[in-house]
Amino acid sequence: MPHLSPVGDSEPVELAFEFDVDQSWIDSVIDATGEKPPRRFEVTFDLREVARELRPELRRAHAIYKAVPWYPLLAEPTDDPWIIANAILGRWRSEQAAEAEEEVERRQEEARRAAVKADVMRWIDQHGSRRLQLAAIRGYNINRLYARERAAKDLPGFWVDFGRKALVRERANPSEEALDLETVVDDFLQTIPSASESISRIVWLARFPPDMQEHADLLDDVSEQGEALKIDDWLGRYPVYLPVDPALRAPSGGDQ
């Protein structure tokens, strides 16, 4: 018959922990004694003396304690294994939950970027110029070219403010012409997929976006400032402007 016997003797299992105490406890000791106690304490548990139902949790807490770069923080010094195990496991679970939430957010952001990129490539394939299509296929940075061409098609007359160079002031007492244009534009935006959630706002352009300024420099008798309708974060990144003065609007055909 088989004979089973241990090789060697059983050994007691001891688990050692170090932990920090909260500053409020240290302050209370200083107030009571005039002396500052140490922040860090240590305690060792003999598992034979720990309640059976706690042993698995304490062992798990010790494994985590050995793996993480931090010490548990307790309200005061203690040799209660429940308190120490809960301090370690509670913080570890919170960190795991935070990491899981960050991972979900990261994946959502990746999915959003992939969807944006797919929309860009789909639009370029259907509406982009040959230049834009070739540049996109060959992997060049086409952000500005794409934004200009899409603005020309989706938002005719608008200027894209690359780099946010325009100087914008709040428009007090807007003109009737600007208010009428605002009504027309906001109705129009609801029909445009790239701007369906946008609303315009009448502003005073104290300094034009660079492309608009280049256009204005070619004109005679135009103001260097004026009313415009502004849309924030078009395509998720660009402010765009529609001048109230028709002469200052972007030319059609994407030739900004």
Residue 253 pLDDT: 56
For the chain, the first-to-last Cα distance in angstroms comes to 94
Burial pattern 175-206, b for ≥16 Cβ within 10 A else e, equals: eeebeebbeebbeebeeeebbeebebbbbbbe
Residue 254: which pLDDT band, with cuts at 50, 70 and 90?
very low
Average pLDDT, the chain: 93
220 pLDDT more than 80: yes
pTM above 0.85, yes or no: no
